[in-house]
């Protein structure tokens, strides 16, 4: 090999290396791109379904809320008139109050009840599985069946008033009195939601390592102290999930009041989703119904946002 | 005796033939309209579910197919509570049926929305809409007539009459015939005799107003207001009189009758089974329509009931209510299909006596009370007497809103003890807003 040929060879080798390196880099980028493209391709059908069946109707609802639309004639743009009118409508305000009452009193009791049941079933009980299944039954029962069964149970001669009668208590007109109808519906909400959230809490409890409790026991902590200082703090993310989900579900309650009371007596159980349905499909005022849906949507978002902020405030500081 | 029977049979046949001609359905094949399509046509019909009614319409569809073999009829049956929503949404989205079945009070709304086709005179062999109107009892077709034109035809026009339980009356030492109430004051007087309470539980009500749906509440409230000389709506439908002195008197009477006779908190009636309390013997008196007859006869009550006229404020000025369901045709369909739709409606309505026999529906056509079926129908004369003093259930674009506002007012007074005037003032304020739309 000549001397002149050596640097050439070296140059050639370096060029080849550079080319190989560039090619490898290009390959690396290309692989990443391909993976990304593959990911997008996999997601695309789901995204398309979401866009068509979730987001487009939501955007459409936002648009309709700015219109006057009776289903037959084309929508007429009226700006914010529906929102202004709703804020001055006593029926809407009453319905919003009913919904808030329902949310408050069906969500708050569910938290301790479902957590309590989860703690109970997290222990070793010999009939644990049977009890768990029995308690979970309301969750799998269709809402319509449940509403019909409870309607019978609430009647004057129903099982609830019969039991009250044995205790010397006069029959209560559960669904036929403005004073009691909403509470009767709330009771069903609690009865149905508790086992569902119990299962979620149970999963949360089982994810807590037993070592923590062992260490606490060695340090002399009692059951209550362990629950307060270990269980509750570690269940915080589960609790957030339960509250947010429960509020959203409670805000959207519809079938039970529709079937059991139709919103009555005297609007005592006309929750917002029921009023939206009536406004849209009984009064044929789609624009107004859409505006109510926007209020409901904003309400749910606001609730969820506040809850997330409240539960994650401490974490951010840490 | 034999002569009488022959005469009676002949006269019944004559009346039936006359009715058939009135309704325009006889010898259908021979009456084929000139522009009736010869090619294959498919139409769709929707109606509300009620056992005997559904069975009869299905029977009519099969019979029509034999007369018009080129026509296919598809049917959709839905509950009475849902049909309004489903129909309106379908009409709006262009998927509505050719023939719609709807509560008469909603046709005002459909007419206002411009979805109805006027009756095809040629198909019915009539020269004018007045000629069609004349075939019905006075006011019998009013709910389907707009601006002098007929847009919908009724297959039932129900009076509301008072059904009495013979068993409950006899157990109280009363006669359902001699002691039958004529006025609301009579109803109040009967209350303590027929109402049975054990401890704190009402085991039998003397009478109860309906509370299972705003529509039924309105159905009872409207005649009460009218009996006091008032009205619910102005003729043009733009003004409501829900808190008029007459309306306040009506709600006060409702409350007082309830106190004396009923216990609204114990009702088991539902929109799909509005006569449940009467059938189960939980109430001795109940206001309902002739259509309930077959249901009551099939229940443990069997034939142990008596029907008397709707109670009055002043029997010298009787006033009752009539409501019904009608067939209409969708304007958005092609002309040939609309012709077929009207032709099938004509075919369906051709035999009012069959409607009465098979579905217990009274078509408000002239001469129906002369048929043999009507003569055999229990208390048909009472139902007809009540129809003769009736006005139709309110007609408005806002029937649902008005019905719900009245229902809420009634429930506030009955369930929550709110003063009738205050309750109706609130209803009036609610409806004023709606009517301003």
Report the residue count for chain A: 318
Number of other residues whose CB lies within 10 A of the CB of residue B350: 20
The chain A residue lying nearest B86, using CA atoms, is A281
- DSSP code of residue A51: I
Whole-angstrom distance, CA of residue B154 vs CA of residue A287: 33
Q: Which residue has the higher pLDDT, A7 or B146?
A: B146
Q: Is B21 a residue whose pLDDT tops 70? A: no
The per-residue pLDDT for B27 is 43
Report yes or no on A224 lying in a domain.
Answer: yes
Q: Is residue A46 part of a domain?
A: yes
Q: How confident is the model at residue A238 (pLDDT cuts 50, 70, 90)?
A: very high
**Domain C-terminal end among A13, A30, A64:** A64
Q: Do A114 and A241 sit in the same domain of this protein?
A: yes
Tokens of B65: 């197919």
For B249-276, b/e burial (b = at least 16 CB within 10 A) is bbbbbbbbbbebbbbbbbbbbeeeebbb
Give the model's pLDDT for residue B105. 84
Q: Domain check: are A90 and A56 in the same one?
A: no
Q: How many domains does chain A have?
A: 2
Q: What is the DSSP string of A87-101?
A: HT-HHHHHHHHHHHH
DSSP-based three-state secondary structure for A68? strand
Question: Residue A307: how many CB atoms within 10 A of its CB?
Answer: 16
Contact (CB<8Å) B416/A73: no
- Per-residue pLDDT for B22 more than 50? no
B148's torsion region: left (phi>0), alpha (psi -120 to 50) or beta? left
Q: Which residues neighbour B395 within 8 Å (Cβ) at sequence distance 6 or greater?
A: B104, B105, B107, B108, B143, B233, B237
Q: Report the pLDDT value the prediction gives residue A6, as an integer from 0 to 100.
A: 52
- From chain B, pick out residues whose CB is under 8 angstroms from the CB of A157: 201
What pLDDT sits at residue B25? 43
Query: A282 contacts in B (CB within 8 Å)?
Result: 84-85, 400, 404
Higher per-residue confidence, A130 vs B116: B116
Listed in sequence order, the residues at least 6 apart from B236 whose beta carbon sits closer than 8 Å to its beta carbon are: none
Q: Which chain A residue has the Cα nearest residue B199?
A: A170
DSSP string, A206-220: HTS-HHHHHHHHHTT
Q: What is the pLDDT of residue B61?
A: 97
- Closest to B416 (Cβ–Cβ): which among A73, A266, A284? A266
Please tell me which of the candidates B91, B401, B408 has its beta carbon nearest to residue A266.
B408
Same domain, residue pair A162 and A57:
no
Q: Are A95 and A251 in contact (CB under 8 A)?
A: no
The conformation of residue B177, written as its DSSP 8-state character, comes to T
At B89 the pLDDT is 84
Asked if B89 and A178 come within 8 Å (Cβ–Cβ), the reply is no
**Mean of per-residue pLDDT scores for chain A:** 86
Q: How does pLDDT run across A241-272, given as a tens digit for each residue? A: 999 999 999 999 999 999 898 898 889 999 99
Residues with Cβ within 8 Å of A88's Cβ and at least 6 positions away in sequence, in order, are: none
Q: What pLDDT does residue A208 have?
A: 92
> What is the distance between the alpha carbons of residues A184 and A188, in angstroms, rounded to a whole number?
7
Closest chain B residue by Cα to residue A266: B408
**By the 8 A CB rule, do B152 and B104 touch?**
yes
In terms of domains, do A236 and A109 share one?
Answer: yes
pLDDT tops 60 at residue A281 = yes
Asked, for residue A256, whether it belongs to a domain, the answer is yes
Report pLDDT digits (tens) over B380-406: 999 988 988 888 889 888 888 999 999
Q: Does A139 reside within a domain?
A: yes
For the record, the structure tokens of B256 come out as 């007082």
Which pLDDT value is given to residue A27? Answer: 57
- Structural domains in chain B, sorted by start: 10-156+324-364 (3.40.190.10), 161-321+393-436 (3.40.190.10)
**Average pLDDT score over residue span A268-285:** 92
In this predicted structure, what is the pLDDT of residue A317? 53
Give, as one character, the DSSP assignment of residue B370. G
pLDDT at position A28 is 61
- ipTM above threshold 0.90: no
CA–CA separation, A303 vs A214, rounded Å? 38
Substitution target in A92, A170, A172, A282 with the highest count of B β-carbons within 10 Å is A282
d(CA B346, CA B324): 18
Residue (of A178, A184, A154, A177) closest to A257 by Cα position: A184
Same structural domain, A18 and A113: no
Angle at Cα A298 formed by Cα A293 and Cα A304, nearest 5°?
125
Span B156-196, pLDDT tens digits = 988 899 999 999 999 999 999 999 999 999 999 999 999 99
Per-residue confidence (pLDDT) for residue A115, from 0 to 100: 94
Report pLDDT for A15. Answer: 63
Query: What are the phi and psi torsion angles at A175 (to 5°)?
Result: -100, 0
Quick check: helix, strand or coil at residue B78? Answer: strand
Structural domain of A41? 5-64
User: What is the model's pLDDT at position A249?
Assistant: 92
What DSSP letter does each residue of A148-177 carry, written as one string?
HHHHHHHSTTSHHHHHHHHTTPPP--TTS-
For residues B259-283, give the mean pLDDT: 88
Q: Does residue A93 lie in a domain region? A: yes
Q: What is the mean pLDDT of residues B31-44?
A: 88
Mean pLDDT of B36-57: 92
Asked if A32 and A105 sit in the same domain, the reply is no
The number of beta carbons lying within 10 Å of the beta carbon of residue A20 is 11
Which of B92, B401, B411 minimises the CB distance to A71?
B92
pLDDT surpassing 50 at residue B95: yes
Residue A278, pLDDT > 60, answer: yes
Q: What is the CATH number of the domain that holds A280?
A: 1.10.3720.10
Residues A109 and A244 in one domain: yes
Task: Look at residue A19 and tell me whether its pLDDT is greater than 90.
Answer: no
With a CB cutoff of 8 Å and minimum separation 6, the contacts of B94 are B332
Q: Do B392 and B142 touch, CB atoms closer than 8 A?
A: yes
Q: How far is A176 from chain B (nearest CA, A)?
A: 5
Q: Which pLDDT score is estimated for B8?
A: 52
Per-residue pLDDT at A111 = 93
pLDDT value of position B11:
53
How close does chain A come to B86, measured CA to CA in Å? Answer: 8
Residue B2 reports pLDDT greater than 50: no
CB-count burial class (<10 Å; 0-12, 13-18, 19+) for A166: exposed
- Assessment of whether the complete model's pTM goes beyond 0.95: no
Contacts of residue B265 in chain A, CB cutoff 8 Å? 156, 173, 176-177
pLDDT confidence of residue A26: 58
Other C-beta atoms within 10 Å of B110: how many?
25
Tokens coding B369: 């009370």
Within-domain flag for A77: no
**CA separation for the pair B190, B169 (Å, rounded):** 10
Q: Is A80 part of any domain?
A: no
pLDDT at B202 over 50: yes
Q: Give CA–CA dist B210/B207, Å, rounded.
A: 10
Same domain, A251 and A116: yes
Query: Could you tell me what percent of chain B has a pLDDT over 70?
Result: 93
All residues of chain A having their beta carbon less than 8 Å from the beta carbon of residue B81 are none
Which regions of B3-70 does DSSP assign to beta strands (E)? 41-48
Indicate whether B4 pLDDT > 60: no
Query: Which chain A positions have a beta carbon within 8 Å of B400's beta carbon?
Result: 278, 282-283
Q: Does A167 reside within a domain? A: yes
Token pair recorded at residue B42: 């498919």
Residues A118 and A255 in one domain: yes
CB contact under 8 Å between B266 and A155, yes or no, is yes
Same domain, A202 and A272: yes
Question: For the segment A71-94, what is each residue's pLDDT rounded down to a tens digit?
Answer: 777 899 999 999 999 999 999 999
Instruction: Judge if A56 and A95 occupy the same domain.
Output: no
Looking at the fold, whether A59 and A195 belong to one and the same domain comes out as: no
Mean per-residue pLDDT for B68-85? Answer: 89
Count of residues in chain B: 437
Tell me how crowded residue B366 is: count the other CB atoms within 10 A of its CB: 16
Q: Distance (Å, rounded) from C-alpha B7 to C-alpha B14?
A: 10
At residue B241, the 3 state secondary structure works out as coil
């Amino acid at each position: 090999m000549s001397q002149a040929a050596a640097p050439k060879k070296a140059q050639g080798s370096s060029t080849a290396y550079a080319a190989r390196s560039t090619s490898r880099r290009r390959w690396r980028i290309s692989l990443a791109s391909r993976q990304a493209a593959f990911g997008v391709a996999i997601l695309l059908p789901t995204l398309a379904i979401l866009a068509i069946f979730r987001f487009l109707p939501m955007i459409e609802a936002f648009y309709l809320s700015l219109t006057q639309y009776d289903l037959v004639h084309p929508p007429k743009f009226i700006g914010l008139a529906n929102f202004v009118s709703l804020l001055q409508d006593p029926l809407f305000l009453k319905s919003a109050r009913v919904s808030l009452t329902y949310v408050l009193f069906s969500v708050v009791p569910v938290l301790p009840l479902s957590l309590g049941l989860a703690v109970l079933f997290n222990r070793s009980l010999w009939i644990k599985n049977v009890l768990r299944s029995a308690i979970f039954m309301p969750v799998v029962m269709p809402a319509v069946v449940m509403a019909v069964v409870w309607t019978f149970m609430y009647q004057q001669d129903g099982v609830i008033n019969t039991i009250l009668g044995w205790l010397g208590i006069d029959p209560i007109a559960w669904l036929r009195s403005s004073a009691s109808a909403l509470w009767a519906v709330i009771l069903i909400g609690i009865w149905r939601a508790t086992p569902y959230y119990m299962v979620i809490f149970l999963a949360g409890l089982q994810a807590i390592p037993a070592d923590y409790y062992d260490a606490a026991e060695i340090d002399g902590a009692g059951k209550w102290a362990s629950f307060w200082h270990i269980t509750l703090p570690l269940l915080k993310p589960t609790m957030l999930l339960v509250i947010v989900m429960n509020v959203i579900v409670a805000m959207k309650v519809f079938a039970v009041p529709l079937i059991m009371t139709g919103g009555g007596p005297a609007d005592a159980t006309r929750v917002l989703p029921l009023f939206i349905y009536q406004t849209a499909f009984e009064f044929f005022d789609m624009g107004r119904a859409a505006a109510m849906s926007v209020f409901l949507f904003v309400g749910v978002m606001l609730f969820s946002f506040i809850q997330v902020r409240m539960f994650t405030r401490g974490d951010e500081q840490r | 005796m034999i002569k009488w029977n022959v005469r009676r049979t002949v006269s019944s046949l004559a009346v039936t033939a006359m009715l058939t001609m009135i309704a325009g359905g006889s010898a259908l094949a021979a009456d084929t309209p000139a522009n009736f399509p010869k090619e294959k046509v498919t139409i769709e019909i929707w109606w509300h579910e009620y056992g005997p009614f559904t069975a009869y319409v299905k029977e009519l569809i099969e019979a029509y197919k034999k007369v018009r073999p080129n026509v296919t009829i598809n049917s959709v049956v839905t509950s009475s509570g849902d049909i309004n929503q489903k129909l309106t949404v379908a009409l709006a989205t262009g998927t509505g049926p050719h023939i719609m079945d709807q509560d008469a009070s909603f046709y005002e709304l459909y007419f206002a929305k411009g979805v109805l086709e006027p009756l095809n005179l040629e198909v019915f062999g009539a020269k004018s809409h007045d000629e069609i109107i004349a075939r019905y009892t006075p006011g019998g077709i009013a709910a389907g007539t707009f601006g002098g034109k007929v847009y919908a035809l009724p297959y039932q026009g129900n009076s509301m009459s008072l059904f009495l339980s013979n068993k409950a009356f006899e157990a109280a030492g009363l006669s359902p015939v001699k002691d039958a109430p004529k006025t609301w004051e009579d109803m109040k007087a009967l209350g303590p005799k027929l109402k049975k309470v054990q401890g704190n539980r009402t085991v039998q009500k003397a009478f109860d107003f309906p509370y299972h749906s705003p529509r039924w509440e309105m159905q009872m409230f409207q005649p009460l207001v009218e009996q006091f000389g008032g009205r619910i709506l102005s003729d043009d439908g733009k003004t409501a009189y829900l808190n008029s002195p007459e309306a306040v008197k009506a709600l006060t009477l409702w409350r007082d009758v309830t106190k004396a006779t009923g216990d609204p908190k114990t009702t088991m009636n539902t929109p799909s089974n509005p006569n449940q309390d009467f059938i189960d013997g939980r109430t001795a008196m109940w206001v309902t329509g002739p259509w309930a007859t077959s249901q009551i006869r099939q229940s443990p009550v069997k034939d142990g009931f008596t029907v008397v006229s709707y109670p009055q404020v002043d029997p010298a000025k009787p006033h009752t209510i009539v409501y019904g369901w009608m067939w209409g045709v969708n304007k958005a369909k092609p002309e040939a299909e609309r012709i077929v739709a009207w032709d099938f409606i004509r075919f369906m309505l051709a035999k009012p006596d069959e409607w009465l026999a098979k579905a217990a529906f009274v078509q408000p056509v002239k001469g129906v009370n002369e048929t043999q079926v009507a003569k055999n129908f229990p208390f048909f004369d009472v139902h007809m007497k009540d129809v003769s003093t009736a006005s139709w259930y309110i007609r408005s674009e806002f029937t649902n809103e008005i019905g719900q506002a009245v229902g809420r007012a009634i429930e506030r007074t009955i369930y929550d003890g709110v003063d009738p005037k205050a309750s109706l003032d609130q209803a009036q304020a609610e409806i004023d807003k709606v009517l301003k739309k």
